[in-house]
Structure 1
Amino acid sequence: MKENYFKKYPNKDGFFNEYGGAFIPPNLEEEMKKINDAYFAISKSHKFISELRDIRKYYQGRPTPVYHCQRLSEKYGGQIYLKREDLNHTGAHKLNHCMGEALLAKHLGKKKLIAETGAGQHGVALATAAAYFGLECEIHMGEVDIKKEYPNVLRMKVLGATVIPVTHGLKTLKEAVDSAFEAYLKDPISTIYCIGSVVGPHPFPMIVRDFQRVIGIEAREQFLDMTGELPDSVVACIGGGSNAMGIFSSFLEDDETQLFGIEPAGKSFKTGEHAATMTLGKPGLIHGFKCYILQDENGEPAPVHSIASGLDYPGVGPEHSMLKDMNKVTYDSITDKECIDAFYELSRLEGIIPALESAHAVAYAMKLAQKFPEKSVLVNLSGRGDKDLDYVVDTFGLPE
């Protein structure tokens, strides 16, 4: 069943039912076709698969473990487990697709990798991949996020990447995507745009999902080995949605496992104070593809907010949009305050400091555990929180 799903979605034109596609300038169509053709050619080859497996095992440190949170479970009820993507090299799930995208770029003869980043984890991962393969790297990042996530800015620079500050609009993730696309359009021949999530024009939502599937493949086998059964719930945070698609991919056909995608409710549901795309958005076009989008009165992408820079995006992956319509995944939200509370709870009860993005999923898991104390919940802990420490302590202080 799973194989049939992945062969069916997306279709040959890059659509997940009505979502996705490639709404791009004519001069990019040929480049996207080259990327698509190259991906299908090399992703089936023994040499590519073997090299990627070696990278994951000997460089990234995969498989990452599944961990049972005993003290958190005792306090909140239920049985809470974490898929520890924070232990993946560079501290988040992002390297799973960045190494694959860089390997693809090398095959295509590209000289430079271009990307956007919000929280900086995708930027760090791509800078790491560029260093590994000997490629140039240019990362576009909003000025607001540069200030919030400065440790990751330093990491990118140390790794040899050029960091381009984005100074227009809200100076966050959407504007960083705009800026990176503009840079890519100037030289699509020698550069490749390595999108940081399951978003953008086809074939990127498919490519990123496929590289992230390793999370779900590992997690399913590990959880069965640990408990003898599948988790009752799987929870992951949603911005663009790459970590969520990675872990959801192995449970889509399991009726006994509920899937929850958690996005930022922010400060409130007023426009500009949240990024709850699935809760309040509607279908539209953004960055070359169709998905659910938070829109203003003119149909333009609305301003968004989240304390988690990696979730601060008005759109979402097209596959998530389809899964919402199909009722395969339940999409819900967590406030900034709930996120911060979970950030400190996991840190103090388990000795694991989560990324603010991941803390949204942890907060929701704590709610599920309280509501269903006899159930198990598996959280994709998509990243570690080193990058967020200065911002969290300066803004919210330490708990008593």
Structure 2
Amino acid sequence: MPNADGYFGEYGGSFIPPQLQEIMDEISAAYDSCRQDPEFKAELARLYKHFVGRPSPIFHAQNLSEKYGAPLYLKREDLNHTGAHKINHCLGEALLAKKLGKKKLIAETGAGQHGVALATAAALVGLKCDIYMGEVDIAKEHPNVVRMRILGANVIPATHGRKTLKEAVDAAFEAYLADPHTQLYAIGSVVGPHPFPAMVRDFQSIIGNEARVQFQEMTGQLPNNLVAYVGGGSNAMGLFSVFLGDEEVQIHGVEPSGRDLHTQGEHAATLTLGEPGVMHGFKSYMLKDGEGEPQEVYSVASGLDYPSVGPQHAYLKDTGRVNYGHINDKEAIDAFFELSRLEGIIPAIESAHAVAYALKLAKEGEKGSILLNLSGRGDKDIDFVVEHYGQDFGIESLL
């Protein structure tokens, strides 16, 4: 999957203007060529090894395992160059843009990890880079904004609506529509019109391919459970896709229930409470307001406040192959500190949602192994966490 028209069951496709569809067809053809090109694959593999630092290791979190009563393992994507899984597909998209003769990469970012990764890839291959980011997230994720600017990217604030991730996507799409010929919109997740959901998944599948081999080498078997957070869903699809045929492996996607799952605008639990709809050029589950438009959403994690989700996730929900649960802000922050203080690993708040869900599985009686994707490190979140939650955990700001 997907089929030739970009559908995963009834989800996906390409709902864009005809003039942009011609560009998408060009991108799709170029990607099909690249993924069969030994030179392209060799160059990407070289960069993964010598630039990103892959393979990222699996770590047995023994202290957490002993406390919660289940074997817990972390796929350490936080150790990648730039600090998250985003570099995996950004390098692929940057190389593709060069092949297409583009001059600039543009993208949206929420937490800033995709923006940093794309700015890094653009600098490496010699392309200009524009990053659209919600004004709220620019203030919240200031360290990543500084990193993007050091790398030479132009950070452009999205100032409408809630000024977060959805608005950043709106602004980036508008800029792309104005000039799709000289720039490539390097979409930051498994969302958007075909071929991006499949292309980003394929670049991210290195996570699952490595994890499958590493876990078997470490334990002699496959994990009983996989856990990853789901915003747009790229880190989750990167891990999940390689295990979908292994029926003995239970797969769990984790959405943000924010401040209140039952109040509109206070969560971003798309698969839990959404319904099918079309936005940003693709069909998937979507949180809608009373007029059928994208609902305002919220999460303590800037990378998760998006009112839709990758179409393959929608398909996997409907088929029942993946169980999609949710974690609220408090549970995520508690897990942020639990992992930090028991294992010496400070996670991104996004990744802390997956940590919280894994701990919940263990507390509810799961005794089998749990492999979770620790997709990013928490450097970007430290100032925000200390300011808003530090006193609850005995931390006084020194600023």
Please indicate the TM-score interval, normalised by the length of the shorter structure.
over 0.9
User: What corresponds to 2:378 in structure 1?
Assistant: 385
- Please tell me the residue identity of whatever aligns with 1:204: F
- Please tell me the residue identity of whatever aligns with 1:200: G
Q: Quote the offset at 1:373 in angstroms.
A: 4.8
> After superposition, what is the alpha-carbon deviation per residue over 1:247-272, rounded to whole angstroms, capped at 9, x for unaligned?
00111011111000001010102000
Correspondence list, 1:22-41, <5 A? 22-41=14-33
**Equivalent-residue separation in structure 2 for 1:181 and 1:302 (angstroms):** 18
* Structure 1 residue matching 2:190: 3-state secondary structure: coil
User: What corresponds to 2:299 in structure 1?
Assistant: 306
**Equivalent-residue separation in structure 1 for 2:103 and 2:154 (angstroms):** 14
- Please tell me the residue identity of whatever aligns with 2:298: H
User: What corresponds to 2:361 in structure 1?
Assistant: 368
User: What corresponds to 1:92 in structure 2?
Assistant: 84
Aligned to 1:73, which of 35, 49, 65? 65
Q: Which moved more, 1:389-398 or 1:86-95?
A: 389-398
Q: Quote the offset at 1:361 in angstroms.
A: 0.2
- Please tell me the residue identity of whatever aligns with 1:368: L
* Structure 1 residue matching 2:309: 3-state secondary structure: coil
TM-score when normalising by structure 1:
0.97
For structure 1, list consecutive stretches of 5 or more residues without a partner in the other structure.
1-8
Aligned to 1:217, which of 191, 198, 209? 209
Correspondence list, 1:197-208, <5 A? 197-208=189-200
> After superposition, what is the alpha-carbon deviation per residue over 1:301-329, rounded to whole angstroms, capped at 9, x for unaligned?
10000000001100000000000001010
* Structure 2 residue matching 1:249: 3-state secondary structure: helix
Aligned to 1:345, which of 335, 338, 342? 338
- Please tell me the residue identity of whatever aligns with 2:319: M
* Structure 2 residue matching 1:170: 3-state secondary structure: coil
User: What corresponds to 1:232 in structure 2?
Assistant: 224
**Equivalent-residue separation in structure 2 for 1:391 and 1:243 (angstroms):** 23
Q: Quote the offset at 1:372 in angstroms.
A: 2.8
**Equivalent-residue separation in structure 2 for 1:204 and 1:217 (angstroms):** 20
**Equivalent-residue separation in structure 2 for 1:373 and 1:331 (angstroms):** 16
> After superposition, what is the alpha-carbon deviation per residue over 1:5-59, rounded to whole angstroms, capped at 9, x for unaligned?
xxxx100000101000000011101100000000001110110010000000000
**Equivalent-residue separation in structure 1 for 2:70 and 2:248 (angstroms):** 16
Structure 2 residue 259 is the aligned partner of structure 1 residue 287 = no
> After superposition, what is the alpha-carbon deviation per residue over 1:186-217, rounded to whole angstroms, capped at 9, x for unaligned?
11110010000000000000100000000000
Correspondence list, 1:1-400, <5 A? 9-269=1-261, 270-398=263-391, 399-400=393-394
- Any runs of at least 4 consecutive aligned residues in structure 1 with deviations exceeding 4 A, and if so which? none
User: What corresponds to 2:397 in structure 1?
Assistant: none
**Equivalent-residue separation in structure 2 for 1:90 and 1:177 (angstroms):** 21
TM-score when normalising by structure 2:
0.98
* Structure 2 residue matching 1:98: 3-state secondary structure: helix
**Equivalent-residue separation in structure 2 for 1:117 and 1:176 (angstroms):** 7
For structure 2, list consecutive stretches of 5 or more residues without a partner in the other structure.
395-399
* Structure 1 residue matching 2:193: 3-state secondary structure: coil
Contact 1:66/1:222 (8 A) holds in 2: yes
Contact 1:267/1:273 (8 A) holds in 2: yes
Aligned residues: 392
User: What corresponds to 1:5 in structure 2?
Assistant: none
- Please tell me the residue identity of whatever aligns with 2:374: L
**Equivalent-residue separation in structure 1 for 2:159 and 2:366 (angstroms):** 47
**Equivalent-residue separation in structure 2 for 1:350 and 1:41 (angstroms):** 43
**Equivalent-residue separation in structure 1 for 2:388 and 2:264 (angstroms):** 22
**Equivalent-residue separation in structure 1 for 2:289 and 2:188 (angstroms):** 25
| RMSD over aligned Cα atoms | 0.6
**Equivalent-residue separation in structure 2 for 1:47 and 1:349 (angstroms):** 44
* Structure 1 residue matching 2:307: 3-state secondary structure: coil
Contact 1:76/1:366 (8 A) holds in 2: yes
**Equivalent-residue separation in structure 2 for 1:36 and 1:205 (angstroms):** 11
Contact 1:79/1:373 (8 A) holds in 2: no
